[in-house]
Amino acid sequence: MRVGEASAGREMHTEVLVIGGGLGGVACAMTAARLGMKTVLVEETDWLGGQASAQGIPFDEYPWNESLTVSRSYSAYRERIRQYYLDNLPLTPEARTRFPLNPGMGIVSTLSHDPRVSARVLEDMLSVYTLPGRIRILKPYRLSEAHLNGDAVVGATVENVGSGDRITIHAQVVIDSTEIGELIERAGVEHVVGAESKADTGELNALDVADPLEQQGFNWAFAADYFPDEDYTTDRPRDYDFWRTFRLPYWPGPHLGFLGLDHFTHEPKQRPLFAGDSDEELLRDGWHFRRIARRRNFSTGFFDSDISVFCSIQNEYLRLPLLGVDATAMQTALQDAKQLSLSYLYWLQTEAPRHDGGIGYRGLRLRPDVFETADGLAKQPYTREGRRIVSEFRLLEQHIGVDARPGADSAEQFADAVGIAAYRLNVHPTRVRDAIDIDCFPYQIPLGILLPVRVENLIAGCCKTVGGTRMTTASLRHHPIDWVIGEAAGALAAHAVRAHLPPRAIRSDPERLIGLQRALCELGVTLRWPEFNTLSATHAMARSWSELSFKTLGPFRSHPARSDNGAV
């Protein structure tokens, strides 16, 4: 039966099944299809893109994202976003000639943009495979059941979010690219949640005693614009009275407040919404941090205001754990988090101390159209950790952390490298302790973290569910790394199907492993970092997250068309 054809019993047969349409899932499906595999991609929302679209989080990337190609297809995705603005929107001549083009000029990214654009671009990128039927996309469908034959995952049943229509999909390889590892749980894959102990991992910053329920906060992001002389105050949220006084035991003030802790020094720090005129560039405040539309980049009157995404400590949900609890407790946490975000908006509108001495920014206007949702919140919550598989190889702090590698000038080198990554070890606050935000070397992604120790035919294809620890997935969880992990998962699946072998057999056979790495190189995936002083690079990364910069930081270049970039 061809991919996409359903029998009378609503069944499908495919070679590769990808559950989860985030960045990792999209890259995974696209890579498998490029390598000749019939593929089905399942996504529970009506948008592809995960944290870049449905969750509304502008790109978090390494400092050299404009000068170093970690993946040719990820670079193409970024350039298509820019081209969308150039081709379709009335940019000013100044914006068109600015390098790099940054539509929102958000502090967090050199390419902060509207999540709707990411969703459209990803659909366009996949169309070369969806139109001829090499990829079948099912959305909005959620995972209902995993199907096993012994220790092998042989398929899954998915259910339409609206109609309840159920489809059973049989596949030779199944990939979990969900944000929190839903297939991992349904398939009974051994996994870890929360915080590990030092005795378990040997990590410098692990807890003395493991705590599965100590988990980083997650956010329901929302978008808003701002009109200082108008009033767009929303209805008072149901749980506002609770959230306006909620306070973490170690926090210097109420959760809904501008007084917080500096992630680096752990000293009290004001985090205002506005540090001055909202139209100014490079202000280090909440409004400019994740701004996705700067109206002065566009023709006069096209945007009446800048638009910014709100995903900050004030609406970071820390009260109850999301993972390792029953379904009722999980739903409570999710609904609680929505109330927190709506309460944060209402607090900003009515009680926030203004930068000009007043009270409340009543001109903040919620923008439900940005996410195309009834409540104005993002389609999905932005989670910072998921169910991490117990894997053939576990990435630890001592492999990549600067302080955990005394005397070293680089990260551990891996013979099974399938990509490269770089981001700080950025563990967000939990309900009982502040953030850990420390230096990390640029590093390689080992294939072993994608493979469960027991279960066959399943690959972890999301940055938050691979075999890391809470420390290392705090670096892995960012946009380009998610994409590269997805590419590696898709390529591994294709090689396993073609060889009629389980995925772990590709890694364990040196010749097949080199063949996989060669294929990744030919696809434009960089497998090792260029030669440069990694200590200096690490310090550059540290500076990039503590200083404002819209410019390329690094002198390191890797030509996107090269295919000799490091099979090892």
Per-residue pLDDT tens digits for 460-485: 999 999 999 999 999 999 999 999 99
Q: Is the pLDDT confidence value at 297 over 60? A: yes
- pLDDT classification of 349: cutoffs 50, 70, 90: very high
**Is residue 242 domain-resident?**
yes
Domain assignment of residue 102, yes or no: no
**Looking at residue 377, what is its pLDDT?**
98
| Confidence band of 534 (pLDDT split at 50, 70, 90) | low
73 found inside a domain: yes
Counting residues of the chain whose pLDDT is more than 90, the rounded percentage is 86
Read off the pLDDT of each residue in 12-24 and give the average, rounded to a whole number: 98
Domain-ending residue, one of 313, 341, 371: 371
Q: Is the Cβ–Cβ distance between 557 and 526 less than 8 Å? A: no
Our CA dihedral for 545, 485, 322, 120, rounded to 10 degrees, sits at: 80
Residues 247, 252, 257, CA angle at the centre, nearest 5°? 65
For the record, the structure tokens of 521 come out as 């190189």
Question: Other CB atoms closer than 10 Å to residue 547's CB: what's the count?
Answer: 10
Q: Which of 259-268, 326-335, 426-435 has the lowest mean pLDDT?
A: 259-268
144 in the same domain as 73: yes
pLDDT by residue (tens digit) across 81-110? 999 999 999 999 999 998 899 999 999 999
Cis peptide before 140 (omega within 30 of 0): yes
Domain span holding position 67 = 11-92+114-196+385-544
Is 86 within the bounds of a domain? yes
Q: What is the pLDDT of residue 400?
A: 97
405 and 503 assigned to the same domain: yes
DSSP, residue by residue, 110-174: TT---HHHHHHHHHHHHHHHHTTTSEEEETTEEEEEEEEETTEEEEEEEEETTT--EEEEEEEEE
Domain assignment of residue 407, yes or no:
yes
Per-residue pLDDT, averaged over 425-442, amounts to 94
Identify whether residues 132 and 232 lie together within a single domain: no
> Which of 371, 406, 426 corresponds to the end of one domain?
371
Distance in angstroms (rounded) separating the CA atoms of residues 458 and 489: 10
Q: What is the chain's Cα-based Rg?
A: 23
Q: Can you give the pLDDT at residue 557?
A: 31
Q: What are the beta bridge partners of residue 137?
A: 41
Q: Examine the domain organization and report whether 39 and 124 are in the same domain.
A: yes
Residue linked to tokens 């390598």 = 35
27 and 175 share one domain: yes
Mean pLDDT confidence for 489-508: 98
Whether residue 63 sits in one domain with residue 187: yes
Q: What is the DSSP string of 427-482?
A: EPP-SSS--EEE-B--EEEEGGGGSBSS-BSEEE-STTTSS--HHHHHHHTSHHHH
* Predicted local distance difference test score (pLDDT) of residue 537: 58
- pLDDT band at 548; cut points 50, 70, 90: very low
Residue 408: give its domain's CATH number.
Answer: 3.50.50.60
Tell me what percent of the residues of the chain surpass a pLDDT of 70. Answer: 91
Asked if residue 311 is part of any domain, the answer here is yes
In a domain, 211, yes or no: no
- Assess whether 392 and 534 both reside in one domain: yes
329 and 419 fall within a common domain = no
- pLDDT over threshold 50, residue 543: no
Quick one: 36 and 172 in the same domain? Answer: yes
Residues 415 and 367 in one domain: no
**CA separation, residue 457 to residues 143, 174, 184, 471, 497 (Å):** 17, 6, 12, 27, 10
Helices (runs of H) and strands (runs of E) counted in the chain: 16, 21
Does 496 score more than 90 pLDDT? yes
Q: Do residues 181 and 24 make contact, with C-beta atoms less than 8 angstroms apart? A: no
Q: Is residue 379 one of the residues assigned to a domain?
A: no
> Residue 538: pLDDT band by 50, 70, 90 thresholds?
low
Mean pLDDT for all residues in the chain: 91
Joined together, the tokens standing for residue 478 give 């960012």
Task: Determine the straight-line distance between the first and last CA of the chain, rounded to whole angstroms.
Answer: 38
Residue 531: which pLDDT band, with cuts at 50, 70 and 90? Answer: confident
Digit-coded pLDDT (tens) for 120-173: 999 999 999 999 999 999 999 999 999 999 999 999 999 999 999 999 999 999
Residue at a domain's end among 341, 371, 401: 371
Amino acid identity for residue 435 in this structure: A
Do 311 and 404 fall into the same domain?
no
Q: How many domains does the chain have?
A: 2
pLDDT of residue 451: 98
Place of tokens 């701002």: 226
Judge contact between 22 and 30, C-beta under 8 A.
no
Confirm if 439 and 63 have CB atoms less than 8 A apart: no
User: In terms of domains, do 62 and 185 share one?
Assistant: yes
Give the integer Cα–Cα distance in Å for 32 and 27.
9
For residues 70-79, give the mean pLDDT: 96
- Would you state the pLDDT for residue 2? 42
Structure confidence at residue 480 (pLDDT): 96
Instruction: Taking residues 350-375, report their average pLDDT.
Output: 96
